[in-house]
Amino acid sequence: MDWYEFLQISLYSTFMFWIYQTFVLPYIFKNVKYYGRKNENENENENELLNSRIVSNLHAIICIFGNSISYIINPEFHKDYNLHYEGRGGYNIVSFMGCISFGYFTHDLIWNILYLRSNDKKGNKWIFIMHHLVSMISIVIVLLIKRYYLGLLICGMMEGSTPFINNIVFIRIYFTKKNVVNDKDIKKKRMKWKRILTYVNVIFLLIVWIYFSLYFGIYKFWIIIYYNYPKFYKVFSIFIL
């Protein structure tokens, strides 16, 4: 993959995620989306965040699906520490997924900066900004030197926990809105379903997090330390982990 292809796919990805969050989701859910503007009430702020989390889920699903196919096509990614596989099917898909992720991170980075500035939000959002910047730099490094695709693949796989984290937020917001009723029995029933769905998502979150983040993360860490990777890549990958 050359730089023209990288920029072309990344820009297209950025544009599509922006269209989806800015126009498609507000149309589907009939909520008002003010991109980069100060919202006048709490509901509009909430819609901003909900739309962003839905797009985050979409990106995570794409990452898991694409990188899983890559791993199935070529399961010997552990040999990537000293072999140049550019041109093989699995590695081409990982490169493509890296471009998709770069586009998403670009879109979400811009959105976070605009949202922070326009709504005076601080704290956790800056963590997302730093996460996106580090991820974007790591993608560029891998695609620039055309090696160490294993790290790119595993970082994509670690997105597997994202949907469950977002789902817990969706459940909390949905049942909070739905529970504005006077009937105590209805409130009790809805709270019961809220707890059940939350527990189910927490269980799946732990399973997925242990598998993707601990297993793949520790495996990646071991590969980077054990084999003779360049020093800058070791330090950068430890920082990402």
Q: Residue range 170-191: average pLDDT?
A: 71
Pick 238 or 1 by higher pLDDT: 1
Pick 54 or 117 by higher pLDDT: 54
- Interatomic CA distance for residues 44 and 32, integer angstroms: 7
What pLDDT was estimated at residue 104?
96
Pick 233 or 206 by higher pLDDT: 206
What pLDDT was estimated at residue 98?
92
- Interatomic CA distance for residues 172 and 169, integer angstroms: 5
Indicate if the alpha-carbon torsion angle 65, 71, 72, 74 is positive or negative. positive
What pLDDT was estimated at residue 78?
59
Contacts of 78 (CB under 8 A, 6+ apart): 150, 223
Contacts of 239 (CB under 8 A, 6+ apart): 134
Q: Give the pLDDT band (50/70/90) at residue 183.
A: low
Structural domain boundaries in the chain: 3-240
Q: Residue range 217-225: average pLDDT?
A: 64
Residue 138: other Cβ atoms inside 10 A = 22
DSSP per-residue letters across 99-124 = HHHHHHHHHHHHHHHHHHHHHT--SH
Nearest alpha carbon to residue 153 among 101, 190, 199, 205:
101
Least confident of 93-102, 160-169, 187-196: 187-196
**Secondary structure element (H or E) that encloses residue 72, with its range:** helix 42-73
pLDDT digits (tens, 9 = 90+) for 31-81: 544 433 444 445 556 777 888 889 999 999 999 999 888 888 876 665 655
